[in-house]
Structure 1
Amino acid sequence: MSLLLTSSKCEQWTYLSKQVKEYEEQAVHAEGADLYTLMQRAAEAVFCCWKTFNAKQTLVITGNGNNAGDGYEVARLIKQADRHVVVCAINPGKVLTGDAAKAQKKWINAGGQICDFSQELLDECDVIVDALLGTGLTNNVHDKFAEMIKAVNQSAKPILSIDVPSGINADTGCPHGAAIMATKTVTLVGIKQGLTTATGKQYAGDLHFDDLGVGEQFMKLATPSAQIINIDSFRPLPERLVSSHKGSHGKLLCIGGNHGSAGAIRLSAESGLRAGAGMVKVYTHEHAVLPVSIGRPELMVTSEHLDDALAWSTCVVIGPGLGQDEWAQKTFERVIRYCQQYNMPTVIDADALNLLAKQSSSYKLSNTVLTPHPAEAARLLELTTTDIEADRFYYARQCAINFDATSILKGSGTLIDNTEHTWVCENGNPGLAVGGSGDVLSGIIGALMAQGLNTSDAACYGVVLHATAGDRACEQSGQRGMLASDLFTHVRALINHL
């Protein structure tokens, strides 16, 4: 069985900033227009988003490049709407060039003025439109730019950024020193990949996209860097046969739960049941057998006969609560050796990732899903967490390549990479940042693989199920105080399209 992503016009893709810069002119010319027309369309898209703030006084901050031209065009549209708007430029006396100069001149001809930035103007406005810096930034923001950005962020006023929040690297999402913390961002022509994950997602705020009428032509020229996925990206799982039985729906073996860590493997195993596995067995430390068994009689639990349990299973999840002591090490080596020998579908999570990192050169894991958070990915790649977070797309791919596996780099905007393709999950919320959440994810993915999905499909669908369940739980009771086990009911409903 293969769960394929849907193919429809609603698909969204991410791109590198250089691709947008390289191909947007060809795309707009193919539509019979020019780049100034594109600038006007960009302003209209931002203006439409600006309306949602219902602002009486707007401050537009501009720099020296084409992004400034977008800002002048937006300011002119706001003025035409009979709303008070002030433009503050980083260099008010500087005459711009190209299309930005044309936009600047039209703003002046419409009666607009260009002011020095001041705290007084900042205090008076209801909303700020950020047209300070664009996607071409390569060096750290400093001097007047940094001062303006700091003042704007400290104002606590709503901020609408054009294309990318000023100071953010459009490809990695990392700030170049100082960066605008936007309330909303309207990104243009192609979605910049850095705005969809981790720090970039935080700085972008509520992300809106407008292809400015050139999307079809642009997609003919540019190869996407990743696909954005959500629960609507997937076709439903097929109906089960009336004649099916418990053995028809996969036998999931969850391995972990060292002394004192029974909860982790219990969460993983129970989420496997809720995600549709026909039978779930837990192999755990002898001291964890009773804690895992209590309260969930549907789980089979053992601390003996590991080889028999492996032979019984159709998929293995190893790692939640496994620990790194002698028992854990021996268990890990036996399991990985067996899974490699028989090409067993495997999910490697938590402590099993840490054990894998200690002997990474020994393994190629072609039928395996790895589920590291940034610190675990850093250990796998012998880097620091800061390194990983500085370029999540690159290192998600490196994890996949190094182990010949499908890699999930967890976090806000979780990334899935199978060495050839990258997907980014747009669902999820900070409530999922709680102990046990990752254990639930590993169980969901294991259950999907046990039911016959390949590693890429199971990883993508599992991540989205988990994240969307978290969103539903958040809507129901809020972010704070969410438990990993709160996801179970929502996972079951989602996988049954309820």
Structure 2
Amino acid sequence: MWNSIPICTSEQARLADQKAICDYGIPSLVLMERAALGCVERMQSHIHPNDTGLIVCGPGNNGADGLAIARLLSERGFFVKIVLPDSNQMSSDEKVQLHIVQKLAIEACPLSACSLEPLLHSCDYIVDAIFGSGLSRAIHGQWYETIAAINASGRPVFSIDIPSGLDGNTGIAQGIAVKAAHTFALDCVKWGEISPEGAPYCGMLHRVPIGIPSVLHEKEAKWLSKSSLCQKIPKRSPFQHKGAFGRALMIGGSPQMPGAVSMASSACFHSGIGLLSVFVPDSIQTILQTRSSLIMTIGAEASKDGFSLTAYQQLQPILSRFDVLCIGNGMGKSPSTDALLQTALSSDATVVIDADAIASAGQHPFWLDREAPVILTPHIKEMSDLTGLSMQEIKTRPYKAVTSFCAAHPNCVLVLKSCATIIGYRNQLSVLFSPNSALSKGGSGDVLAGIVTGLSGWIKDPFLAAQFGVLVHSMAAKQAANPVSFTALDLIQNLDFVFEQFIK
């Protein structure tokens, strides 16, 4: 269901709709009928034959969708009542749908002439077809009061395209918004529906194809899922030696944070890397050796806070041994971090940049413009350090922040971590929407960096390795019996089970 699903801004969704009608000659009423059929088919799994539905239609084509849904429900034996906008607010398609409804004698009443409270009290469910994803103004007056009454009714709500009142791009309520149990995203998912602000209004999100040609969404973000990646992951030959699966070096650690690089290296080894070494301050080298017998440790000259300012001189001569480098976990922000990052990026290896090294990259963005791939894995605050954008700007339109960064740095893969994680590379965006509080724990990001590093050793496509790493990380968290007690170490323990799903 979620394979290659487009994720669009309101403007992109509207343009695709217009092109389908004007360039491909698909009548708007045909698209509307497909939308209504898809919604009704999905609704039937959640309503009972004896239920009474209240279809609340607003002005425009979202209201027209509601009228078509009311007709199809009636034809299938469901009892429905309709609340209408004033006729002078209706679109031409809405008037067509109303004419059919009137011929079928389905009960309908203009909002201005009916008493809404008794209708809400007597129904079993509500269809919200008031406003679509293109809403760009604050709601007030009778529609504000209507949405408030719907929310207060306690009845389950099915929202058509998007809960009325949500901004389709940001998910911010325009004064007020419907709180839906189910949302039927028509044709494409809107960015606002998977934002931290908008997702709670949507309830269960369903995508409903309506017949818009897929070619019209070729350049838009795509939904990341197991089914979308399964066929792309290369098979590991049983006849290959360890060197064929990559040689990785993880650069990080400090006396204050030895656990970060320890967890990252463990996750890397559990993600298929052939050989793994860690480059750490010699003051914590014994800690790493004690925690794992799987890794080779290289001790660098240390200061009291971590790496010394001259540690990069020890790093430079050994870089040619490795295919993949990971830098940043537990390092701290310091001049030594800058020097080590610059040295790592001077190599020919793929470089994964995480944690404290991201801020260093933000201060020296030209270091990122190299021929070999770079994968960066910031959360929102680190993205702000990287780009100079405010956290609010990034939160409001994360897709814009990722797109702009990838356009400026075409050899970089960017993984922006949030409840909807965006993976960007050049003009491609892939999105994993799988919110999980089990990942809201220290160390989760270090484990992701390790997974991506391990995968980059044997998956030579950095965009694919990043997508696979994000998906595997999320799937490992889903195995949590209880997100409260789940830790980053549990993520690593669950990796074997997750990778088995892809081998099958």
TM-score band (shorter)?
A: 0.7 to 0.9
Aligned counterpart for 2:432 among listed residues 404, 422, 425:
425
SS at match of 2:420: coil
Q: In the alignment, which residue of structure 1 is the partner of 2:483?
A: 479
Q: Which amino acid aligns with 1:66?
A: N
How far apart are residue 178 of structure 1 and its match? 2.6
The one-letter amino acid paired with 1:12 is: I
Contact persistence 1:193–1:225 (CA under 8 A): no
Counterpart check, 1:382 vs 2:388: yes
Whether the 8 Å contact between 2:407 and 2:427 is mirrored in structure 1 is: no
Higher relative contact order (CA 8 A, sep 6+): 1
Residue equivalent to 1:3 = none
Secondary structure of 2:45's partner?
helix
1:62 aligns with 2:57: yes
Q: Return closer, same or farther for 1:52/1:273 CA change in 2, 3 Å cut-off.
A: same
2:293 corresponds in structure 1 to 297
Is residue 260–residue 288 contact of structure 1 (8 Å, CA) maintained in 2? Answer: no
Q: How far did 1:277 drift?
A: 0.7
Map Cα deviations across residues 394-450 of structure 1 (whole Å, 9 max, x no partner): 101122234441111111221111122111124453322222111111111111222
Q: Does 1:49 align with 2:56?
A: no
2-structure distance, mates of 1:71, 1:58:
11
The 3 A distance-change label for structure 1 pair 186 and 291 is same
Matched residue type, 1:432: L
Matched-pair contact (CA < 8 Å) for 1:185–1:206: yes
Question: Which shows bigger deviation, 62-71 or 20-29?
Answer: 20-29
Distance 1:104 1:392, change over 3 A: same
Q: Which residue is 1:24 aligned to?
A: 17
Equivalent residue, structure 1, for 2:446: 439
Q: Residue type matched to 2:416 in 1?
A: L
Residue of structure 2 equivalent to 1:276: 272
* Distance verdict in 2 for CA 1:398–1:154, change over 3 Å: farther
Query: What is the match of residue 321 of structure 2?
Result: 312
Cα distance 1:209–1:295, how it changes in 2: closer, same or farther (>3 A)? same
- Native 8 Å contact 1:95 1:101 kept in 2: no
Correspondence list, 1:47-196, <5 A: 47-55=40-48, 56-89=51-84, 91=85, 96-109=90-103, 110-114=105-109, 115=111, 116=114, 118-196=116-194
Counterparts of 2:2 and 2:54, CA distance in 1: 36
Shift in CA distance, 378/100, structure 1 to aligned 2, threshold 3 Å: same
Worse overlay, 335-344 or 359-368 = 359-368
Do structure 1's residue 226 and structure 2's residue 221 form an aligned pair?
Answer: yes
Worse-superposed segment, 69-78 or 148-157: 148-157
1:250 is aligned to: 246
Deviates more, 1:169-178 or 1:8-17: 8-17
Q: Matched residues in 2 for 1:428 and 1:377: separation?
A: 19
Deviation at 1:93, TM superposition (A): 6.8
Equivalent residues of 2:38, 2:209 under 8 A apart: no
Q: Distance in 2 between matches of 1:43 and 1:238?
A: 40
Name the CA distance, whole Å, in 1 between partners of 2:11 and 2:180. 22
Tell me which amino acid in the other structure corresponds to 1:315.
Answer: V
CA distance in 2, matches of 1:317, 1:362: 15
The one-letter amino acid of 2:253's match is G
The amino acid that maps onto 2:292 is R
- Say yes or no: does 1:454 pair with 2:461: yes
Structure 2 CA distance for aligned equivalents of residues 120 and 320 of structure 1: 60
Q: Check if 1:413 corresponds to 2:420.
A: yes
2:221–2:431 CA contact under 8 A, matched in 1: yes
Which ranges in structure 1 are unaligned for 5 or more consecutive residues?
A: 1-7
Once superposed, what is the RMSD of the aligned Cα atoms?
Answer: 2.9
Higher mean alpha-carbon deviation, 174-183 vs 46-55, is at 174-183
Deviation of 1:159 after TM superposition, in Å, equals: 2.1
Which residue type is aligned with residue 430 of structure 1? S
Q: Does 1:357 align with 2:362?
A: yes
Deviates more, 1:50-59 or 1:347-356: 50-59
Aligned length: 480
Contact 1:88/1:117 (<8 A) preserved? no
- Per-residue CA deviations over 1:152-193 (Å, capped at 9, x if unaligned) read 345554321111222223344444343333322222234434
CA deviation profile, 1:283-317 (whole Å, cap 9, x unmatched): 23444334434342212334324345534322111
- The residue type equivalent to 1:138 in the other structure is S
**Is the Cα–Cα contact under 8 Å of residues 186 and 208 in structure 1 kept in the other structure?**
yes
- Comparing 162-171 with 117-126, which one deviates more in the overlay? 117-126
Kept in 1: contact 2:258–2:284 (CA 8 A):
yes
Q: Which amino acid aligns with 1:273?
A: F
Alpha-carbon contact 1:230-1:464 (below 8 Å) kept: yes
In structure 2, stretches of 5+ residues that fail to align are 301-313
List aligned pairs for 1:310-349, cutoff 5 A.
310-324=319-333, 326=334, 329-330=335-336, 332-349=337-354
Runs of at least 4 residues of structure 1 off by over 6 A?
29-32
Whether 2:405 is the aligned partner of 1:399: answer: yes
Cα pair 2:254 2:284 within 8 Å, conserved: yes
Percent identity between matched residues is: 26
Deviation track 1:186-216 (CA, whole Å, cap 9, x = no partner) reads: 222344344345444443332222322x24x
- The normalised TM-score by structure 1 is 0.86
Moved more, 51-60 or 339-348: 51-60
Q: TM-score, normalised by structure 2?
A: 0.85
Q: In the superposition, relative to structure 1, how do residues 286 and 27 fare at CA in structure 2: closer, same or farther (>3 Å)?
A: same
Structure 1 residues 225 and 32: alpha-carbon distance in aligned structure 2, compared to 1, 3 A threshold: closer
Q: Distance in 2 between matches of 1:151 and 1:298?
A: 61
Alignment CA distance shift 1:179-1:224 (3 Å): farther
Alpha-carbon distance, 1:138 to partner = 1.8
Amino acid at match of 2:329: P
Q: Which moved more, 1:459-468 or 1:428-437?
A: 428-437
CA distance in 2, matches of 1:289, 1:157: 61
Q: Is the 8 A contact 2:219 2:427 kept in 1?
A: no
CA contact (8 A) 1:59 1:127 kept: yes
Displacement of 1:32: 7.3
Secondary structure, aligned partner of 1:342? coil
**Matched AA of 1:58:** G
Shift of 1:67: 0.5
